[in-house]
Amino acid sequence: MESGAVFSGLHRHPTPPSHHLILGHSRCAIKFFPPLFTDKKLFSSHPQSLQLQKQSDLALYRNGNNNHVNSVRVASPASNVTSELADIDWDNLGFGLMPTDYMYMMKCSQGDSFSKGELQRFGKIELSPSAGVLNYGQGLFEGLKAYRKHDGNILLFRPEENAIRLRMGAERMCMPSPTVEQFIEAVRATVLANERWIPPPGKGSLYIRPLLMGSGAVLGLAPAPEYTFLIYVSPVGNYFKEGLAPINLIVETEMHRATPGGTGGVKTIGNYAAVLKAQGTAKANGYSDVLYLDSVHKRYLEEVSSCNVFVVKGNVISTPAIKGTILPGITRKSILDVARSQGFQVEERLVTVDELINADEVFCTGTAVVVSPVGSITYQNERITYGNDGVGRVSQQLYSALTSLQMGLTEDKMGWIVELK
């Protein structure tokens, strides 16, 4: 098979295919390299050991070192394919799971390296009751999006950053992880296999959820003997029902998302279960989400349940520094660079809860929300409002700049966009 035809025929079949798409060693290898970064700092606020590891991972990726990279082949070429979009109401797309056509799976044993994977029909997976992820929470996940352009091209936003963050998290959680190239090639294959589920331009995006988990059975407390890397996707609209409209947050003073020395700085599954109680109470009382404080002094901002927080005062944009308890968000990092390019003064530091009272604007960032302006924050029964509950100027400006870049509407001067076709 010619390499140029490898990803042909990954659209919707009239009936489920009888063969999987195998990503393993074969005669046709596809090398896939997105544009190089202009930003060389690479999460410079991470601990030095993780910083060096990340630089090493990205260097191997960019230099084309494919000693551990999967080749790609199609075991049974697809036929009678169509390119029609899925028959769903694109104008009323929320943020929730919508089962699609294919998911990706790759396994390896503890002490080994991931070496092959496959695209298979989306569906249930089988796990032992004694799987490490079920008993000891040995699991990580990532989140990124694919966008459809008016010319039919499909875009990814900084997928190598997700790959590197997964590897950093895997090191903390004693798990093997795919290489950067394996991660990106798996994402690419999964997106193209589910192309009909990518919303039309301006109607949403295809949310991509990579998972890494200890799938092997283990009873005593120890790393699992086997690991599974899995990717599934779902078309999505806005994360908050308000869309690009102000959300209302409440500051949580008793419960905490993370503690120093814990796993708050990696995207492990346990971080998110820990916020459900406070988040559920907040939503029951009419708030959109919860803003957490540090667990030691209870006065420094950390993050919202699933996104980073920013405070605007004049021309200065401040956000909590990454010190091990806050997730190093890729959208966070991107917004900081975009803000600098637009002339804002950017500060990554300790930000006190008292600074919220005098802020001009507050907004959140994340893969799911992109940029979400905050209309009010309630702290110790006092409600602070911003901009008469409207979308702030800075929030709007940064949202427009970043989403235009992600959707391919403006020139990518940062080298962040990966084109799939």
* Domain identity same for 294 and 205: no
- 31 DSSP assignment: -
**What integer pLDDT is reported at residue 25 of this predicted model?**
33
- Judged against a pLDDT cut of 90, whether residue 60 lies above it is answered with no
Q: What is the mean pLDDT of residues 98-107?
A: 97
Least confident of 179-193, 241-255, 332-346: 241-255
Band (pLDDT 50/70/90 cuts) for residue 7 is very low
- Judged against a pLDDT cut of 60, whether residue 413 lies above it is answered with yes
* Domain identity same for 195 and 315: no
* Domain identity same for 223 and 291: no
If one counts every other C-beta atom within 10 angstroms of the C-beta of residue 217, the result is 16
Give the CATH number of the domain where residue 273 resides: 3.20.10.10
Band (pLDDT 50/70/90 cuts) for residue 368 is confident
Location of structure tokens 């700049």: 401
* Domain identity same for 224 and 366: no
Domain extent, residue 36, equals: 3-237
**What integer pLDDT is reported at residue 52 of this predicted model?**
41
Residue 203 annotated as catalytic: no
The span from the CA of 322 to the CA of 226, in Å, is 31
Q: What is the mean pLDDT of residues 132-147?
A: 97
* Domain identity same for 220 and 254: no
415 in any annotated domain: no
Q: What is the mean pLDDT of residues 69-76?
A: 31
* Domain identity same for 309 and 227: no
* Final residue in a domain of this structure, among 184, 214, 237: 237
How much is the pTM? Answer: 0.81
* Domain identity same for 225 and 254: no
Backbone angles phi, psi at 334, to 5 degrees: -70, -40
Number of domains within the chain: 2
**What integer pLDDT is reported at residue 229 of this predicted model?**
98
Query: With the C-alpha atoms ordered 383, 387, 392, 394, is the resulting torsion angle positive or negative?
Result: negative
- Judged against a pLDDT cut of 70, whether residue 2 lies above it is answered with no
Q: How many CA atoms lie within 13 A of 392 on its CB side?
A: 26
Backbone angles phi, psi at 263, to 5 degrees: -115, 20
307 in any annotated domain: yes
* Domain identity same for 60 and 93: yes
**What integer pLDDT is reported at residue 318 of this predicted model?**
98
- Judged against a pLDDT cut of 90, whether residue 82 lies above it is answered with no
Give the CATH number of the domain where residue 128 resides: 3.30.470.10
Location of structure tokens 């427009």: 400
* Side chain identity at residue 409, one-letter code: L
* Final residue in a domain of this structure, among 192, 210, 237: 237
* Final residue in a domain of this structure, among 237, 266, 291: 237
Band (pLDDT 50/70/90 cuts) for residue 243 is low
* Domain identity same for 78 and 40: yes
**What integer pLDDT is reported at residue 3 of this predicted model?**
33
Which residue did the predictor score with more confidence, 238 or 156? 156
- Judged against a pLDDT cut of 60, whether residue 64 lies above it is answered with no
122 in any annotated domain: yes
Whether 291 and 304 have beta carbons less than 8 Å apart is answered as yes
418 in any annotated domain: no
416 in any annotated domain: no
Which residue did the predictor score with more confidence, 113 or 368? 113
The span from the CA of 297 to the CA of 106, in Å, is 43
370 in any annotated domain: yes
Q: What is the mean pLDDT of residues 350-364?
A: 95
413 in any annotated domain: no
Tell me which of 145, 267, 298, 421 is the catalytic residue.
267
Strand partners, 211: 141, 230
* Domain identity same for 276 and 396: yes
* Domain identity same for 218 and 252: no
312 in any annotated domain: yes
* Domain identity same for 353 and 333: yes
Strand partners, 365: 308, 371
- Judged against a pLDDT cut of 90, whether residue 19 lies above it is answered with no
Least confident of 186-200, 360-374, 384-398: 384-398
Both tokens of 259, joined, read: 């503690």
Q: Which residues of 166-189 are buried (b: 16+ CB within 10 A; e: fewer)?
A: bbbbbeebebbbbbbbbbbbbbbb
Band (pLDDT 50/70/90 cuts) for residue 270 is very high
Per-residue pLDDT tens for 39-53? Answer: 333 333 333 344 444
**What integer pLDDT is reported at residue 241 of this predicted model?**
64
Average pLDDT, the chain: 83
Per-residue pLDDT tens for 103-125? Answer: 999 999 999 999 989 999 999 99
Q: What is the mean pLDDT of residues 153-165?
A: 97
